[in-house]
Amino acid sequence: MNEENTPFTPPENPNPPYPPFPPGNDRYRQDAPFWPNRAPRRSSFWRRVGKFFAWTGTFFLAALGAILLLGMIGILFSLKGLSTDEESKNKPVEKILAGSEISPKKIVVLPIEGMITENEFGFVRNCIQAAYDDDRLSGLILRVNSPGGTIAGSDYYYTLLSDLKKERKVPVYVSMGGVAASGGYYVSTVADKIFAERSTITGSIGVISMMMDASALCDKLGVRTNNIVSGKNKGMGDFTRPMSDEERAIWQGLIDEAYDQFLSVVREGRPAFAPKTEGESDADSADPLREIADGRVYSAAEAKRLGLIDEIGFLKDAAEAMIRDELKTADDDVEIVRYKKQENVLSVLGAETDGKAAVRRAASLVETLSTPNLYYMVPGTLPSFD
């Protein structure tokens, strides 16, 4: 079969090699449908109309989705307390718990939560500064939920709060959460009155220094350190060798000094342990504070019996007591706000990851455990700082 007599073109040979087909049969025309039984195509007009509506609908849905996304992002940016950078996350924003902005007086609830560190640019420090600068500040309630932390950090917060209380002349109450012990209790002694929930664990008055001794492991692995020092005690705290008696005595002296500092702030802040009169020794074995300040923790009921706290109650009870006993006004005349951290846009959208934060905490933990330090902290608590 040649090209001229293909099955798809009518043969020009009057005597084809195959039987002729009936007249009118267009089976072999090029424009004939491939499947003879297929439904006839739509007219070009309706085809164009269908394409128009399909493209128009797709464009409309895409535009609507983009408008909704942009609108949601705009709303998030306009919300008070939303930030886009890490630094601004440490700036406090207010959450109204009761009253309104037109109330003549204002109580600020300032949270002290988690490990206490000496961060001079952290959230708690910024909260204290914001409360100090607030012209409407009438009272301050510390919401303490912390197992303690470094001595420097605990004393730093205590000093800032003492200055605020003295210069602004406002009452300061404490509302303890689940744990308010050691450094958390140290900070709480600045208050005029301490409230603890009935399930609160508090106390743990004392100092601890956690230093690892990995000398046996280093001996097994053959690891040694070559410390080049200016004095024999410059390398004390090295975890690759046992601690000498002289080094232990030096560390014990530092701990005793920090312990006496803890006792002094408790005596100054708690009426039940007022400073002794002249001539009496703090080292007296009959000292009631030293008898209970051996590092142990207490329940709320025990703490109240011993004079470590004043009342058992919740945050609401502390606020009502401050309004009734200190401000002496109606509840409607007081606005109560709580400071909170600003939220990050990515965290609100669910796109933020904690991977970097976890790495930072792990690195900080290694540094903390390998660096000798003194802590006002509940025994058994693992120090981990951001």
Last residue of a domain, which of 78, 98, 119?
78
Q: What per-residue confidence (pLDDT) applies to 212?
A: 77
Residue 94 maps to a domain: yes
Kindly report the backbone phi and psi dihedral angles of residue 318, in degrees, each rounded to the nearest multiple of 5, phi listed first: -65, -40
In this structure, the answer to whether residues 107 and 203 fall within a common structural domain is yes
Give me the number of domains the chain comprises: 2
8: in domain:
no
- Whether 34 is covered by a domain: the verdict is no
Using CA atoms, how far apart are residues 384 and 332, in angstroms rounded to an integer?
Answer: 42
375-377 and 148-150 beta bridge pairing = antiparallel
Task: Provide the token pair at 5.
Answer: 């007599």
**pLDDT at residue number 202:** 95
pLDDT of residue 174: 96
Q: 277 vs 162, which has greater pLDDT?
A: 162
Q: Which of 59-68, 74-83, 186-195 has the lowest mean pLDDT?
A: 74-83
Question: Between these two residues, 262 and 10, which has the higher pLDDT value?
Answer: 262
104 CB neighbour count, 10 Å cutoff: 12
Q: Does 195 score more than 70 pLDDT? A: yes
What domain range is 55 assigned to? Answer: 45-78
Reported as a single tens digit per residue, the pLDDT across 310-369 is 999 999 999 999 999 999 888 888 999 999 987 655 554 544 445 555 555 555 555 555
Kindly report, residue by residue over 211-254, the tens digit of the pLDDT. Answer: 777 778 877 888 877 778 788 877 777 777 887 888 888 888 98
Higher-pLDDT residue of 119 and 304 is: 304
Tell me the catalytic residues: 182, 234
Q: Specify if 369 maps to a domain.
A: yes
Q: Assign residue 130 the CATH number of its domain.
A: 3.90.226.10
pLDDT of residue 169: 94
CB 113 within 8 A of CB 146: yes
Assess if residue 162 is contained within a domain: yes
Tell me what the pLDDT averaged over the chain comes to: 78
Work out the pLDDT band at 190, boundaries 50, 70, 90. very high
Supply 233's token pair.
């005690």
- Domain assignment of residue 306, yes or no: yes
Q: Are residues 53 and 194 in the same domain?
A: no
Q: How far is CA 259 from the centre of its chain?
A: 30
Both tokens of residue 320?
């009502």
Whole-angstrom CA distances from 184 to 91, 111, 150 are: 22, 11, 10
Which is more confidently placed, 209 or 358? 209
**Alpha helices, H only, the chain:** 44-78, 123-133, 151-168, 183-188, 215-221, 245-269, 288-292, 300-306, 315-321, 345-348, 355-370
The answer to whether residues 65 and 136 belong to one domain is no
Q: 58 and 110 share a domain?
A: no
Distances in Å between the alpha carbon of 325 and those of 134, 165, 173, 317?
A: 22, 17, 11, 12
| 106 and 71 within one domain | no
| Among 53, 78, 103, residue at a domain's last position | 78
Average pLDDT over residues 271-294: 73
Over residues 134-179, the pLDDT tens digits come to 999 999 999 999 999 889 999 999 999 999 999 999 999 999 999 9
Q: Model's pTM, two decimal places?
A: 0.70
* Residue 248 domain-assigned (yes or no): no
In-domain check, residue 243 = no
